[in-house]
Every structure is written in C-alpha cells, then in structure tokens.
C-alpha cells in the first residue's frame, strides 16, 4: 500500500464514521418525533412517555459531542496529510471537495415531504 492508498483508506474510514454519527443523530431525532407525534395523534397525555423522551434527548448530547470531536479530527488529519504530502481524498486527486466552511447544497426532497 502506498501513501495515496493509505490516505484514501483513512479518508474513507473518516467519512464512514462521520456518516454513522449523522445517521445516529437522525435516528434519535426521528424516534423523538415519532413518539411525540404519535402521542398527539392518539390523544395520549403528555405525562406518558416523558421519561423515555427525556432519556432519548439526553442520548443526543454525547452523539453531538462525538460528531464535533470527529470534525476536529477531520481538520487535524487534513493538516497532517498536507504536511506529509499524502493525497487523502477517497477518490483520489480529482474528487470534488467543497470549501470546508461552506454548506454542501444537496436536494433531499425532505422539505417538500414535511410540508406536503
């Protein structure tokens, strides 16, 4: 394995870890939303399920903190790769990479789904 392959492997594993944390956070949010909406739809008192909802909400904090720490690792890995001249993008040197500080616009259809 050369340095480029090593860099691509590191980038892929970092991307996978970032995606898994995002999916975990999305799953927790979906669970909270489902429980709350279901309680409202079925006219169940707010007292029922509050303890579970509190626990689910508390579980989100560590996931958000882990995501922030992983973002710091991302920036550190990027700096190290540049310093060592390691190409660490998943697809090699021609992979499109947005500016790190800019949002990446991607159509999801979620807004329309939520409104419709």
Helix (H, G, I), strand (E, B) or coil at 85: coil
Contacting residues for 92 by C-beta, under 8 A, at least 6 apart: 4, 8
Q: What's the pLDDT score for residue 1?
A: 85
The arithmetic mean of pLDDT across residues 89-109, rounded, is 57
Using CA atoms, how far apart are residues 76 and 16, in angstroms rounded to an integer?
17
pLDDT of residue 55: 97
Q: Please report, for the chain, how many H helices and E strands are present, in that order.
A: 3, 0
Write the pLDDT tens digit of every residue in 20-34.
999 999 999 999 999
For residue 78, which of 100, 101, 96, 95 has the smallest C-alpha distance? 100
pTM over 0.85: no
The predicted-structure confidence for 55-87, as pLDDT tens digits, reads as follows: 999 999 999 999 999 999 999 999 998 998 887
Whether pLDDT at 94 is above 50: no
């Amino acid at each position: 394995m050369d340095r480029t392959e090593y860099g691509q492997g590191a980038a892929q594993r970092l991307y996978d870890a970032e995606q898994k944390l995002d999916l975990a956070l999305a799953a927790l949010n979906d669970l909270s939303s489902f429980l709350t909406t279901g309680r409202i739809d079925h006219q169940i008192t707010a007292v029922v399920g509050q303890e579970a909802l509190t626990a689910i909400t508390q579980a989100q904090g560590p996931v958000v903190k882990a995501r922030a720490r992983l973002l710091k690792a991302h920036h550190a890995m990027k700096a190290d790769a540049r310093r060592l001249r390691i190409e660490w993008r998943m697809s090699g040197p021609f992979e499109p990479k947005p500016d790190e500080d800019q949002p990446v616009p991607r159509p999801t259809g979620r807004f329309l789904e939520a409104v419709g």
